[in-house]
Chains A and B, each alone.
Chain A
């Protein structure tokens, strides 16, 4: 199974700050990587697909990048509505696997 190592586990940042979350894949998964945001009591919402493509309706302050088997989600100017838990997902091969999540809070 492909392991997705996500870091940090939690993150506290100030409004307008740049935030970066990373996922390291245990093997090559190409661009088969998605990022999700989950707010308390809600379903996960797709932010990024194909490692770098912005999902419909997602603010442009969110972006995804890839360097080899390391994937990053960047929020360029943190807003209050960005608080929640963020997960990466590898969709390269079954079993699909999620990262362990990053809890983002406002400082």
Chain B
């Protein structure tokens, strides 16, 4: 059974760093891609970046150099780190399994509030 679960803080202080872990089961990180997508309250979906199954990464340039995605294949985990958080980074952060053409399974999301 394919599962993804995001774990991270509920609250992050302004200008601090957000770290979220996506732990997957039922598939291998060396076979499937993992994407990060966020959704601010009441708004649409925004692709942040991806860890490709070969180990490479791609990022949405909207996050400039703030965003970093890495993985530990031995633990079936993918990590998101984003620094210099602002209040408009308040959102639900999802990890999703990626095939060639889509994201076919999603975690339940981690809700993060950036507080001043």
Q: Which 10 A-B pairs have the closest CB atoms?
A: A34-B102, A43-B106, A94-B58, A49-B102, A96-B47, A98-B45, A95-B60, A101-B44, A46-B104, A49-B101
Determine the distance from Cα of A49 to Cα of B97 in the docked complex, in whole angstroms.
14
Q: A99 — which chain B residues lie within 8 A by C-beta?
A: 44
By beta carbon, the residue of chain B nearest A49 is: B102
Chain A residues within 8 Å of B58, by CB: 94-95
Summed over the interface, the residue pairs from A and B with CB atoms below 8 Å come to a total of 60
Q: Which residue of A lies closest to B99 (CB)?
A: A49
**Please, which residue of chain A has its CB at the minimum distance from the CB of B43?**
A101
Q: Which residue of B lies closest to A45 (CB)?
A: B106
A43-B106, A43-B107, A55-B104 known; A95 and B44 CB under 8 Å?
no
* Residue positions of B touching A, CB distance < 8 A: 35, 44-47, 50, 58-62, 94, 96, 98-109
In the complex, are the beta carbons of A89 and B46 less than 8 A apart?
no
What are the interface flags for A90-107 relative to B under an 8 Å C-beta threshold, 1 for contact and 0 otherwise? 010011111111000000
In the complex, whether A71 has a CB less than 8 A from a CB of chain B is no
In the assembled complex, A87 has its CB within 8 A of some CB on chain B:
yes
Nearest chain A CB to B102 CB, angstrom units: 4
B104 to chain A, nearest CB (A): 5
